[in-house]
Amino acid sequence: MSVYSNGSVTTKLLEPATYNENVSAEFRIAEPCLPNIRLIDVGSKNSQDIQYNTLIGAYGCLRSVMLYSGQMLLDGCPNIAQFVAFKKYNHSNATNRGLHKLMARNQMGFNLDRTGILVDTPVENNQSGTTDALTTLAYIPVSEYCPLLKRLNVLDPLVFQNLRLVLEFDPAPAAFLSRNDSTSTNSRRPRLVMDCLQPGSFQPNPSVTSWNAIEQDRYALPAIGQVAAETIQRQSNGLNGFNSKLVGRMLIVKTFADDNKNIKVGTAEVNGFGRYASHAQCNEEIQVSVNGAQQLPRNGVQGTGNRMLSQLHETWGDCNTIPSGNTLGIATIAKMSADLQEYQGQQSYFGMFVNQRVKDLQIQHTRTGLVEADAAAVTPTNEALNCLVFCEVSKSLVIRGGQVNTIYN
């Protein structure tokens, strides 16, 4: 029988115990509740009427979401916005059009018009406005940031003492808006929706609960710059952030090291997905070595096209890719509306299964710099990149003798 049908659940709205506009908010959970806690009224009001970022929407207002028991971090990851943005892309076109457009206030999900041109679906309710009435707000399941919640039966303050949910806001306009010239942004005061339980009406959590937390590391590819002929850049990158950890899936997001490169030259408009784009490279190859053994045949995944997309799909599932969104090619650009053409080459992610304990992790990344006569032009395959590496890391929550601890498996 569902807990909702026996009268033991009461839905409540919790105001933040502390709230600092554009900085942080903290919720203190003082009564037992189901782990399906969710945030509402997440967004930002600003000095002009601007749409939220196409990919991440109002979720970009949050830099991090972390769940604490006292001073111990139960789950959550700082500076995880690029991974959360990927998860908005990591859905079918229909799901994004029908659900996440309203939850996240983004603009994912695409359509064909009567002439056969690929276009954005109708834009609705995705504006950060100058007044509360003109500002739309997002709904966020906290489990998007804290996957431990999907494995628990209950959040019981008698077990998790001083249970706190801490939000950190990102005040930079380019983090969540389609323009970066807003003179002021003002985060809205979020609220937490809780399904509270009566004492004795719930099943306690098991003594050991395992889940896949999201952790991250990064490596940098230096700029190739202007070249007289095509130039091959090949670099081996050692990562220490996952050492001694049992790693599941991996994701690499390739972002510009210079955030100003995400703005259209001579304007204040964010180019496509902005800082949440993962840029396709020319003649790209990625090979991963774990504990001295190469994980992929030959030179790894070669080319930014459908080989990389196929492996990403096999690893992470459905991906809402537009034609040529994952390549540098422009063969299909005439089949797209002008509004979508700027997203060409901005959906190139690398994903793979690691599924082993890591003692040494090396990523060899190869790309080709192209000839570019215009020094001011932004050529993704010539720019300096920060390659953000996100991995699922196996952890366990151990409840024993009235004590709560999190450990790596």
Domain boundaries, the chain: 3-205, 209-395
Question: Closest Cα partner for 190 from 72, 58, 35?
Answer: 58
pLDDT of residue 306: 82
Highest mean pLDDT among 174-178, 265-269, 290-294: 290-294
Q: Is the pLDDT of residue 274 over 70?
A: yes
Residue type for 386, please? N
Provide the H-helix boundaries in 261-316: 306-316
Query: Per-residue pLDDT averaged across 160-184, rounded?
Result: 90
Residue 342's pLDDT band (boundaries 50, 70, 90)?
confident
Q: Are 188 and 44 in contact (CB under 8 A)?
A: yes
Three-class secondary structure of residue 177 per DSSP? strand
- Mean of the per-residue pLDDT values of the chain: 90
CA distances from 281 to 25, 103, 212, 236, 250 (A): 39, 32, 30, 16, 19
Six-digit token pair at 356? 């082993």
Q: Which of 1-5, 29-33, 140-144, 405-409 has the lowest mean pLDDT?
A: 1-5
Asked if the domains 3-205 and 209-395 are classified in one and the same CATH topology, the answer is: yes
Residue type, 9: V
Q: Which helix (H) or strand (E) holds 390?
A: strand 385-400
Cβ contact 303:284 at 8 Å = yes
* Torsion angle of the four alpha carbons 77, 106, 380, 263, in this order, in degrees rounded to the nearest 10: -100
Residue 310 predicted with pLDDT over 80 = yes
Which residue would you say has higher pLDDT here, 275 or 123? 275
- Cα–Cα separations (whole angstroms), residue 207 to 30, 66, 109, 153: 21, 22, 42, 12
pLDDT band at 2 (very low <50, low <70, confident <90, very high): low
CATH number of this structure's domain 3-205: 2.70.9
Q: Confidence band (pLDDT; 50, 70, 90) for 1?
A: very low
Highest mean pLDDT, choosing among 90-94, 322-326, 341-345? 90-94
Selected residue with higher pLDDT from 377 and 354? 354
CA angle 226, 303, 216 (to 5 degrees): 85
- Count Cβ atoms below 10 Å from residue 402 Cβ, excluding itself: 8
CA separation for the pair 261, 259 (Å, rounded): 5
Phi, psi (rounded to 5 degrees) for 69:
-115, 105
pLDDT at residue number 78: 87
Report residue 307's pLDDT band, with 50, 70 and 90 as the boundaries: confident
**Among residues of the chain, what percentage have pLDDT more than 90?**
64
Q: Is the pLDDT at 216 greater than 50, yes or no?
A: yes
Q: Does 332 have pLDDT greater than 60?
A: no
Listed in sequence order, the residues at least 6 apart from 364 whose beta carbon sits closer than 8 Å to its beta carbon are 234, 235, 236, 237, 285, 286, 287, 288, 289, 300
How is domain 209-395 classified at the architecture level of CATH? Distorted Sandwich (2.70)
Residue 333 predicted with pLDDT over 70: no
Which of 258, 295, 263 lies closest to 384, judged by CA?
A: 258
121-125, 177-181, 302-306, range with the lowest pLDDT: 121-125
Instruction: Check residues 284 and 1 and name the one with the higher pLDDT.
Output: 284
Nearest to 44 by CA among 189, 174, 191: 189
**Residue 298, pLDDT above cutoff 90:** no
Of the two residues 298 and 262, the one the predictor is more confident about is 262
State yes or no: pLDDT of 3 exceeds 80.
no
Averaged pLDDT, 162-184: 90
Q: Look at residue 123 in the predicted model and tell me its pLDDT.
A: 65
Mean pLDDT across the stretch 198-225? Answer: 92
Q: Which residues contact 262 (CB under 8 A, 6 or more apart)?
A: 174, 256, 270, 271, 274, 275, 277
pLDDT of residue 22: 93
Per-residue confidence at 168, pLDDT binned at 50, 70, 90? very high
Q: Which residue type sits at 128?
A: S
Average pLDDT over residues 240-254: 97
Q: Given a cut of 80, is residue 124 above it in pLDDT?
A: no
Token pair, residue 395, equals: 């952890």
Q: Give the pLDDT confidence score for residue 126 in this predicted structure.
A: 85
Distance CA 18, CA 101 (A): 29
251 — pLDDT class (breaks 50, 70, 90):
very high
Q: What is the pLDDT of residue 196?
A: 93
What pLDDT score does 239 carry? 96
Query: What is the Cα–Cα distance from 322 to 120, expressed in whole angstroms?
Result: 10
CA 182 – CA 129 distance, rounded (Å): 11
Residue type at 92 in one-letter notation: S
